[in-house]
Structure 1
């Protein structure tokens, strides 16, 4: 292990810059925080260990399976990298995946300007749990390599193909690829989500937390669906709604034998 004691160390400065999207895009790397990430098979570029936990047997056993650069830093330096109040003392640097739009599966998720990192991370985790492999995200949404997104995904970010697309190109792509466009919307002509009709290829769209799906996208939708509200709440959180609807889609797919 390499011990770093100065904030002017080049490796330390490089990792710190990865807290900004601009530098993550430039370097094609991102960071994840938490001991749990040592349990995944994704190979790190660098593992940063807080000096206070470096000698813990549990940590050493997990570190030993990775043949990568490992650095130890003191608490003062670590505090400049962590995004958590009660950090577990582990930060990992990964290479970003190269996304692909060429081999999208028959059932995909589309996110239109989802802005909250916790929501995006949870949706990625739900998508993975429900057996979805691809998420299209309109540009202007939160970066999926944002630290909170990565943490909220609980490792599922390694299992999903995530591709960002211009909003103006989204409908054109979906129509060209002959997707059945299903939008979640609080509209008078929306039908209960249990009544949605699935075709051979389906794209389910979830919108911005406050404003929903852009009108230009809704206009081109083949179906609009809604989760009925039986109490007094105005609506459901988008991550919660995604869990309900994605599992309903999965159940319908299973029933038809696909």
Structure 2
């Protein structure tokens, strides 16, 4: 296992830049932090380990990956870490690119969801409920943001994410005969328990503050609502996603 101790190391400088979205997109690489990521079968490009970490704890996990592995000085490792109390392991993965040719019949659409924690939770929920495909409209948070990755708890490897322009997305789904079902606080919305599904359905969730755009609502085939029985103004988008997806799982 190689050791990096100087901040001018070419690889270290390259990986440190991945903390910024523009460099992630250039390199098509992202960071995932934590021992948990060693449990997954997806092979990383690099593994970086804090020099103070007890390697004996993860020897077997490390052996299964045929990739470059490095020991970093604690000072350098802290520059890559995004966690206050890091576990001492950071992995670097390649982006996954998915075409639109193999979408499942039931998909999730996120319209400008902006909070990294919410997106991570939704990806994890989509995975838990047995779905695969997520389309995000332009303006949504970067799915390879470090907080998103951490919040997915590894489900990032089980979800197929694609970004599309809003108009392009609507045209594509309509052309492929998807039923557009929007979650909305609207007078014409029906309770989610009365949701009507076709063979192919796109379940749409909106921005945390503004909801789904008016242009998407205007072409939606159905609008659904989760009743609020208490005094809360609304539900967190991640929670709403879980409630509705599990209802759909009961039906299909």
Asked if TM exceeds 0.5, the reply is yes
* Structure-to-structure mapping, 1:1-258, within 5 angstroms: 1-53=1-53, 55-253=54-252
d(CA) in 2 for partners of 1:30, 1:101:
22
Residues matched between the structures, number: 252
Task: Give 1:76 shift.
Answer: 0.8
Task: Give 1:60 shift.
Answer: 2.0
Q: Gaps spanning 5+ residues in structure 1: where? A: 254-258
Task: Give 1:149 shift.
Answer: 0.7
SS at match of 2:32: strand
Cα pair 1:33 1:151 within 8 Å, conserved: yes
SS at match of 1:150: helix
SS at match of 2:100: coil
After superposition, what is the alpha-carbon deviation per residue over 1:133-158, rounded to whole angstroms, capped at 9, x for unaligned? Answer: 10000011001011111111111111
d(CA) in 1 for partners of 2:41, 2:25:
23
Q: Gaps spanning 5+ residues in structure 2: where? A: none
Match of 1:256 in 2: none
Cα pair 1:100 1:161 within 8 Å, conserved: no
SS at match of 2:143: coil
SS at match of 1:211: coil
Cα pair 1:45 1:68 within 8 Å, conserved: yes
